[in-house]
Structure 1
Amino acid sequence: MDVAGDPEGPGPPGGDGPPGSARETPSRLSREQLFVLISAGSLNLGSMMSYSILGPFFPKEAEKKKASNTVIGMIFGCYALSQLLASLVFGKYLVHIGAKFMFVAGLFVSGGVTILFGLLDQVPEGPIFIAMCFLVRITDAISFAAGITASFSILAKTFPNNVATVLGSLEIFSGLGLVLGPPLGALLYQSFGYEVPFIFLGCITLLMVPLNMCILPNYESNPGKHSFWKLITLPKVALISFVINSLSACFGFLDPTLSLFVLEKFNLPAGHVGLVFLGLALSYAISSPLFGLLSDKMPHLRKWFLVLGNLITAGCYMLLGPVPVLHIKSQLWLLVLILVINGISAGMSIIPTFPEILNCAYENGFEEGLSTLALVSGLFSAMWSVGAIIGPTLGGFLYEKIGFEWAAAIQGLWALTSGLMMGLFYLLEYSRRKRVKVPNTLGTEEERTALLSDEI
């Protein structure tokens, strides 16, 4: 990996440059790189635990407070809407605010509002409870957007030639947070009640603040001349953004629906419901580093990962219920197996998206530096948020109207569409490049023939 602060400057990430342009990567991490990994890992772990802890028991508690399934889905979805808007703002102004300050401030606010979320059971039921849920979730989403946008930018700045590998490796912490959140939350909920899970996680997050203030490096950069609009209007970036939307929506769909489906279908206690989420989170955490490493070492595989990952994800959602037209009996072991496969396919699709967008930006004239990294980070977070808005909101509505089986199948169609569109784009791109190479080859042969004729 590259040593931060190399005077030669970073090359394009992902290894797509010419063979002679890549710098030799030392086998050992520098102190600065190690500190960045610790900081980003602490953010991923804390934020994912706080996010996933709601799954096993919050929908049930919200129902007691007179919130419908659709409203519960909107409570999950408002997090993503707020993150969408905040990511666009933070991505644009990161170089003005400062990456380190944005990271630490986001972590501090996130810990505080997580504690506040644990006090919501003291709020009167009905509109007041619902309004407070929205307010706390929106604040938490803004703080998370600040932290994750700064984190992606700092990581890409520190590891310019190993972006996918580093992001994939850090998904271990995200997956660990998703793994630990539901069972830990369910266990604390069963043992101590509603408040303790949130207070416990909020305090852990706050303890990470002074650590990151001490070890996180401070990067400075000048504002860039490019905008989100120029980035998102690149055809390849637009299609990859749609892929991110679909995958995020698939994840978000499960938040308000899966726990209720498992409770109703298999009559599991709340403490065991959190274990069902392990299949998805654990397989995603284990597979992501592998796909990140392969994406950096063999960039030509990224297109296959993006397409196949989406198609496999679509098949998984058809089988989650399973959809009634397949006439397959719903069984707990089958549900867990499908979640495991879905975690692997999600890692296959998600990890290559960031370096693909970054390479496309560099190929289209975006300058190398923190300003472009901030734009790509903000765009990635924003596009992820778009799917996370639609997934829980639409999922909660469809679950209420047509049941989990059909709702999951409809969700799978989104991943199927994005996978097919991405595959078609790569086929057209390959065909266009092939047509460009043929005239160049003919021209070279004609010139060689002419020169030989002149010599004779």
Structure 2
Amino acid sequence: MDQNGAQPTEGCATDEAQSGTTSRMSRQQIFTLISVASVNFSSMICYSILGPFFPYEAKKKGASQTVIGLIFGCYALCNLMGSLILGKYIVQIGAKFMLISGLFVSSGCTILFGLLDKVPGTTNFIVLCFIIRSIDAVGFAAGVTSSFALSAKVFPNNIATVLGSLEIFSGLGLILGPPFGGLLYQSFGYEIPFIVLGCFLFLMVPFNMYMLPNFDATPSKDSFIRLITRPKVTLICFVIFTLSSGLGFLDATLSIFATEKFKLSPGYVGLLLLGVSLPYCLSSPLLGVVSDKFPSVRKWLMVLGGFATAIGFFLLGPTPIFHIQSQLWLSIFMLTLVGFSLGMTGIPTFPEILNCALENGFDDGLSTLGLVSGMFGAVWSIGMFFGPTFGGFMTQTLSFEWAAAIEGAIGLLASVLLGVYFLIEGVQRNRSSRGTGGETPEERAPLLGQSSTNSPEI
């Protein structure tokens, strides 16, 4: 057992492999990567499949735009609660068991969701949508929270690089889900897309039972409250909120906007959503490497990415005050900008929060990784609830163009606040360096994976 209380499965890894410093990955690292990649891909393809056709199908069942937004939003709300609870108790539950059970629950819910078109009556349809999506959200929270924590545990010195590389599989899920779901929906109807993907997700259960190593760890007394009350963590969480809010907004509103404005079929709407997922998928590995190689650049990647996301939403409609005619090529270009900027902003957030936690005396172990993963998932879920709910309401009340502009304004505010904080932090460090012979607090701060008990509070 190592100093963090983590004990890998016998024969899985040496101490050198655990450190992540060797050029050749250990068996434990390879198996963990394969397992987490399968979870990322399976979860995201099942999540993204709804975008091209479910809002249209729900509208045929009598659901309003606001209710459709709430159906998307309830998933995020339950994911929020699940992430907080499961992230806190990941050590007691067991990371491997949490991941596998999450996959099992999500597979069953995906299949059941595909049978909802047989439900008679608007009220029954809406109620069952809420129930199944809520349970599915808890399963999703279990899988993603444990996968984030295990990735950071096995690769402590290359977190951004590994997470960025794994986002290829998340991006593939986002890329394949909309067109795959849209084409299956056009060819076979509502049920088949969910049944196919639900069965695929179920096959991931025995696969991960074999591939994923076991981990033991010691519980920590640290809490979410202590973590999120750090000013830097709070502002980064606001940025994460704007990212997920924007994606949730697009999920609930873009398909109807594109169908009505550009007369696109569900299959082409699925292809339109590639404008977000493809650039995110392709840019994430490179952005992860940059974040690990140049840690000082992470904060400005988050700020600049937030500004770019805001511009993308302002011109997506575009906003009426610009007096620019809505055109399909412009919408595709702005979706591409949003997708790239999401990677620029999102990839550095996890290592930055984790680094801040270690600098403030949190235990360097699986328990802290669970807290950071759970908080990341919870904040992401808040945005995924707010985005479709508020976006659906604003689209119904005003228009898609104005709703997208409001979404962009929220992202712009988060970027400005975070940028101001980093500027103030830089001034304080310069003053401190003049009083300590030129050595800045950042230079004295421990690297990820090292002890940080005596580090200054940021």
Identify the TM-score tier after normalising by the shorter chain: over 0.9
Q: Is the 1:4–1:158 Cα contact (8 Å) retained in structure 2?
A: no
SS, match of residue 436 in structure 2: helix
Q: 1:7 aligns with which of 15, 18, 21?
A: 15
Q: 2:177 aligns with which of 155, 178, 181?
A: 181
Displacement of 1:185: 0.5
Q: Would you say 1:263 and 2:259 are equivalent positions?
A: yes
Displacement of 1:64: 1.2
Cα distance in 2, alignment partners of residues 31 and 427 from structure 1: 43
SS, match of residue 373 in structure 1: helix
The residue number in structure 1 matching 2:112 is 116
Cα distance in 2, alignment partners of residues 240 and 10 from structure 1: 28
Q: How does 1:348-363 map to 2 (within 5 A)?
A: 348-363=344-359
Cα distance in 2, alignment partners of residues 221 and 37 from structure 1: 20
Q: 1:253 aligns with which of 249, 253, 256?
A: 249
Displacement of 1:316: 0.6
Letter of the 1:156 partner, please give it. Answer: A
The residue number in structure 2 matching 1:35 is 31
Considering only aligned residues, what root-mean-square deviation do their CA atoms show, in Å?
Answer: 1.5
Q: Would you say 1:276 and 2:272 are equivalent positions?
A: yes
- Count of residue correspondences: 429
The residue number in structure 2 matching 1:312 is 308
Q: 1:129 aligns with which of 120, 125, 132?
A: 125
Displacement of 1:269: 1.5
Displacement of 1:405: 0.6
Gaps of 5+ in 2: 1-10, 439-458
Letter of the 2:372 partner, please give it. Answer: V
**Per-residue CA distance 1:293-314 (angstroms, 9 max, x = gap):** 1000110110110100001100
Letter of the 1:245 partner, please give it. Answer: F
Displacement of 1:5: 4.2
Cα distance in 2, alignment partners of residues 440 and 268 from structure 1: 63
**Per-residue CA distance 1:373-405 (angstroms, 9 max, x = gap):** 000000000010111110000010011011111
Displacement of 1:103: 0.3
More helix by share: 1
Q: How does 1:180-199 map to 2 (within 5 A)?
A: 180-199=176-195
Cα distance in 2, alignment partners of residues 261 and 236 from structure 1: 37
Q: Would you say 1:301 and 2:300 are equivalent positions?
A: no
- 1:151 to 1:329, Cα distance in 2 relative to 1, 3 A: same
Identity of aligned residues (%): 59
Q: Is the 2:16–2:22 Cα contact (8 Å) retained in structure 1?
A: no
Cα distance in 1, alignment partners of residues 103 and 365 from structure 2: 24
SS, match of residue 54 in structure 1: coil
Q: Is the 2:312–2:408 Cα contact (8 Å) retained in structure 1?
A: yes
Displacement of 1:163: 0.6
Q: 2:56 aligns with which of 60, 76, 87?
A: 60
Q: Would you say 1:433 and 2:449 are equivalent positions?
A: no
The residue number in structure 2 matching 1:90 is 86
Q: How does 1:125-204 map to 2 (within 5 A)?
A: 125-204=121-200
Q: Would you say 1:70 and 2:66 are equivalent positions?
A: yes
The answer to which of 124-133 and 431-440 deviates more is: 431-440
Letter of the 2:305 partner, please give it. Answer: G
SS, match of residue 440 in structure 1: coil
Cα distance in 2, alignment partners of residues 10 and 202 from structure 1: 34
The residue number in structure 1 matching 2:321 is 325
Q: Is the 1:80–1:389 Cα contact (8 Å) retained in structure 2?
A: yes
Cα distance in 1, alignment partners of residues 356 and 121 from structure 2: 50
Displacement of 1:6: 4.2
Q: How does 1:405-424 map to 2 (within 5 A)?
A: 405-424=401-420
Q: Is the 2:159–2:351 Cα contact (8 Å) retained in structure 1?
A: yes
Displacement of 1:268: 1.1
Cα distance in 2, alignment partners of residues 234 and 148 from structure 1: 24
Q: Is the 1:175–1:285 Cα contact (8 Å) retained in structure 2?
A: yes
Q: Is the 1:118–1:195 Cα contact (8 Å) retained in structure 2?
A: yes
- 1:402 to 1:4, Cα distance in 2 relative to 1, 3 A: farther
Cα distance in 2, alignment partners of residues 315 and 189 from structure 1: 33
Displacement of 1:127: 1.2
Cα distance in 2, alignment partners of residues 139 and 329 from structure 1: 42
Cα distance in 1, alignment partners of residues 358 and 437 from structure 2: 27
Letter of the 1:396 partner, please give it. Answer: G
The residue number in structure 2 matching 1:16 is none
The answer to which of 417-426 and 266-275 deviates more is: 266-275
Letter of the 1:334 partner, please give it. Answer: L
Q: 1:227 aligns with which of 213, 223, 226?
A: 223
Gaps of 5+ in 1: 12-22, 443-456
Deviation >6 Å, runs of 4+: 8-11
Displacement of 1:270: 1.6
Cα distance in 1, alignment partners of residues 62 and 405 from structure 2: 28
Cα distance in 2, alignment partners of residues 265 and 104 from structure 1: 42
The answer to which of 34-43 and 112-121 deviates more is: 34-43
Displacement of 1:440: 3.1
**Per-residue CA distance 1:26-74 (angstroms, 9 max, x = gap):** 2222221111111111111111111111011101110111110000000
Q: 1:401 aligns with which of 397, 400, 403?
A: 397
Q: Is the 1:10–1:161 Cα contact (8 Å) retained in structure 2?
A: no
- 1:42 to 1:278, Cα distance in 2 relative to 1, 3 A: same
| TM-score scaled by length of structure 1 | 0.92
Letter of the 1:183 partner, please give it. Answer: P
Q: Is the 2:17–2:25 Cα contact (8 Å) retained in structure 1?
A: no
The structure with the larger Rg is: 1
SS, match of residue 367 in structure 1: coil
SS, match of residue 215 in structure 2: coil
Letter of the 2:280 partner, please give it. Answer: Y
